Structures are given as structure tokens and as C-alpha cells.
Structure 1
């Protein structure tokens, strides 16, 4: 088995959502806006690319059902905080995140949403192998079952 060294480094923080995984969530939430995308991997017709910088946009103005697979680097906390704060404006924000319950942001924000742990490991984008970290879907906003820990 060959391991992609970038998975263990900061060489990339762009992890394209597996399409079949997204499709199952989209069937449930009917997403309107992808806030962290590249043109070639956007999951919604409306999306923010790095050129637009999703952190500088008003997500709630542009969509009520929002998909967020943020960059998994140093600034992930900013994306999760914005997702949570956007939910306070009436939007539902669904985030695909690495499971990191040892971090401050996980307790400060993720635990205020519904947490669905992903069974197994996801294979992101064009990677040959599954990620070396567990993932979770964290849902903020209307319909989120706060405090629920669910396996999917």
C-alpha cells in the first residue's frame, strides 16, 4: 500500500469531498451553496472559490442550506466558527471535518452541533488511498440534534 505523504503534512489542505458521500447528504439537505470549493470540485452550482475567499462572504445571505468541507490546515477553526455563527442567522450548515476532539475548537463549536461520525475512512478527491484520519459530519442549525453522536 502506498501512502500519500501529503496526507501527513501541510503540503495540501484541499480535500475534495467524495461525490457519493456528498450525494447522500445532499439528498437529505438539498444544498444551495458550497463555501469551500475549487471550480473543478464544487458540489453546488453556487460556490465560493479561494479567489472569492469564503471567510469574507456572508453565507446566510447567499444560501440557507450550506455545504462546508473546509481546508484542513491551520485556519480550520475560522471556518468552523463561521459555520456555527452562520447557523445562528437561520442557515443550516453541514461541515465535513477531521475528527479532532482534542482541540479547543471542537469543544467550542462542534459540540454545539449534531456530530455524525463517519464509519471507516473517506477517500478524498483523487487520492489513491483513504485518509489516515477519521471524519465526522457536523451539522449546525435548524434540525440539528445537538448533543447527538451518530455513526453514518
Structure 2
């Protein structure tokens, strides 16, 4: 995810996650994330990260196997975001808990196929101002989507 990227158009695919979001999520999980599968060296939110060249869509995310791996992913916003959501959903079979920062896109197939099956959807009350962007907040609403392995799911009763 490039630093200093512009949000003037929706064509921009990469946005650096604000640190306040990461701090809150780290507090929720009680520590650091293990992996950021969609990062650059300058904005990775975990000690281990995959760059565009590494292609986090084809690599396994269960780097802490046999322990649970905590993943934070702010995928490139574009036509392939659905592939990242599907990947996070499927990685739950490998004991991966994924937190994704996503644009709210309830009019897409990937939203209905995967996001609505997530363990949590946390809507962010205000528009997110991404790091390195001077134009102001994003022109769209955002949310945090959490996928957990079935055996780790919290009872919803």
C-alpha cells in the first residue's frame, strides 16, 4: 500500500490504515497482529507482511501454525477486493483470525457471499482519513470485518 496515495478518485487502490484503528484492534486482540498480507515495507501493520510482489492472495496466512494466527488486512480497494475477502474467509480453516478494513459495499456479490457470513461487522461511525492523504476522509463508509475459525467463534446466544 503506497504512502501518500490520493483519494481524489475511486480509482486509487491503496490506502494506508490510520494508526488509531490498529491501536484499537490490538487492544481487542490483546497484542500485535502476526501478519499483514497486503502491505508495503513502509506501512505494514504486523512484523511479517506480504507485498504486492509476494502476493498475499496465493500465500498461506497460517504463519503461527499450530497456534492461531492474527491477521490484519487492508486490501487494495479495487475490483479484486472480493478475492481478499474470500481468502480471509477461507483461511479460517487454517486457524486464522482475520480483521479486514473494508469499504462498505453492500451492493456487491462478495459482500453478500462472504461479509454477511462474517463473525463481526463493525461499522466505523465516521469516514476514515487514511494516512498520508491530504484531501480529507475517504468518500465512502468503512467497516472492520472479522472472520474467526468455527471452533473459536463466540456463542451468539
TM over 0.5: yes
1:112/1:146 contact within 8 Å kept: no
Structure-2 residue corresponding to 1:24: 24
CA distance in 2, matches of 1:5, 1:66: 25
Deviations 1:72-105 (A, max 9, x none): 1110011000000001222100100000111111
Match of 1:86 in 2: 91
> Are 1:138 and 2:145 matched, yes or no?
yes
- Paired with 1:15 and 1:6, the residues of 2 have a C-alpha distance of 8
Question: Larger helix proportion, structure 1 or 2?
Answer: 1
- State the distance in 1 between where 2:133 and 2:57 align: 26
Q: Structure 2 unaligned segments of length 5 or more: list them.
A: none
Classify 1:5/1:52 alpha carbon distance in 2 versus 1 (closer, same or farther; 3 Å): closer
Q: CA deviation at 1:127?
A: 1.0
Q: Is the 8 A contact 1:111 1:146 kept in 2?
A: no
Bigger shift: 138-147 or 36-45?
Answer: 138-147
**Number of aligned pairs?**
143
Structure 1: 5+ residue runs without aligned partners?
Answer: 148-152
Q: Matches of 2:75 and 2:126 in 1, distance apart?
A: 20
Return the match for 1:57 from 36, 56, 59. 59
Q: 1:96 aligns with which of 95, 98, 101?
A: 101
Match of 1:112 in 2: 117
Q: Distance in 2 between matches of 1:137 and 1:144?
A: 17
The alpha carbon displacement at 1:5 in A equals 6.9
Cα shift readout 1:46-85 (whole Å, capped 9, x = no counterpart): 1111111111100124571111110011100110000000
The structural deviation recorded for 1:28 is 1.4
* 2:38–2:52 Cα contact (<8 Å) kept: yes
